[in-house]
Amino acid sequence: MTFRVICRKEIIYKNSTSPLCLLFFQGKRKKAVGLGVSVALKHWDAEAQKVTDDCPDRDNIQFQITAKVKEYEKKIRRLEIMDIPVTFENLFEQNSKRLNCSIGEYLKQTIERLETLGKYGSASKHRSLLSRLSEFRSLNTRFDEIDLAFLRDFELFLRKEGNVNNSIATQYAILQCLCIRCHGGLCPLFRTHQNQRKSSLTKRHTLFSDTTFVIRKNS
């Protein structure tokens, strides 16, 4: 996946400006994403992919270009970190084509893909999640069946099995990545669960501190 900033010369508005956009390339596929700004052709440096120094409102226009470029660079890096293929569908969150399969099915597909790519460490972590989920609940569970109760119960199950915070965080990070790929709307659910966990941990820490203070005071 590559992209560059272009000026759509074939489109000229009444004020004699043309729209700027990001043009993405992947194989033979192309996709243009408008930046919401336009400039006169004489104020666009196509080779440098930026507006010229004498362009009116240059700083504001260039700021919008840079912000949008950084936004998509961040999205691409995030997909790469999570071992998610950088495709038009994933990058632009076209969730109408979500995979129609169970958690178990998709986990197995992901493990096979990671091993094919030689990413055995990531594959091993996914296998660990697959094993934990199979002990917790049926692997036929679908992504749209995951709710806050599921996440809380799964965390409780992991703790009863002796898993510590770092191990639980890893399991949840992988599960969230799967949800992003298959059912993008679940991200807020994980954030809500994470906020609730932080709130609960803060309360327990405060209670522990208060109790310790009382014990020391009495002693």
Q: Can you spell out the DSSP letters for 76-90?
A: HHHHHHTT----HHH
pLDDT of residue 186: 46
Provide the pLDDT confidence category of residue 69 given band limits of 50, 70 and 90: very high
> Scanning the structure block, which residue is given the tokens 């399991």?
171
Q: Looking at the predicted structure, is the pLDDT value of residue 143 above 80?
A: no
pLDDT of residue 204: 47
Q: Looking at the predicted structure, is the pLDDT value of residue 61 above 70?
A: yes
pLDDT of residue 194: 60
pLDDT of residue 178: 80
pTM of the model: 0.49
| Stronger pLDDT, 43 or 205, i.e. the higher one | 43
Q: Looking at the predicted structure, is the pLDDT value of residue 82 above 80?
A: no
The pair of three-digit structure tokens given for residue 215, joined into one six-digit string: 């014990």
Average pLDDT, the chain: 80
Nearest to 109 by CA among 93, 94, 127, 96: 127
Provide the pLDDT confidence category of residue 211 given band limits of 50, 70 and 90: very low
Q: How many CA atoms lie within 13 A of 6 on its CB side?
A: 14
Q: Looking at the predicted structure, is the pLDDT value of residue 99 above 50?
A: no
**Phi, psi dihedral angles at 159 (to 5 degrees):** -65, -40
pLDDT of residue 96: 39
Q: Looking at the predicted structure, is the pLDDT value of residue 131 above 90?
A: yes
pLDDT of residue 42: 94
Q: Do 71 and 7 touch, CB atoms closer than 8 A?
A: no
Helical spans, DSSP H, in the chain: 58-81, 88-91, 103-116, 120-136, 148-160, 165-182, 187-218
Residues 6 or more apart in contact with residue 148 via CB below 8 angstroms = 189, 192, 193, 196
| CA-based torsion, 187, 193, 196, 197: positive or negative | negative
pLDDT of residue 81: 73
| Stronger pLDDT, 21 or 89, i.e. the higher one | 21
Q: What is the DSSP letter of 185?
A: G
Nearest to 44 by CA among 12, 78, 83: 12
Give percent of the chain with pLDDT exceeding 70: 77
| Stronger pLDDT, 19 or 80, i.e. the higher one | 19
Q: How many CA atoms lie within 13 A of 63 on its CB side?
A: 4
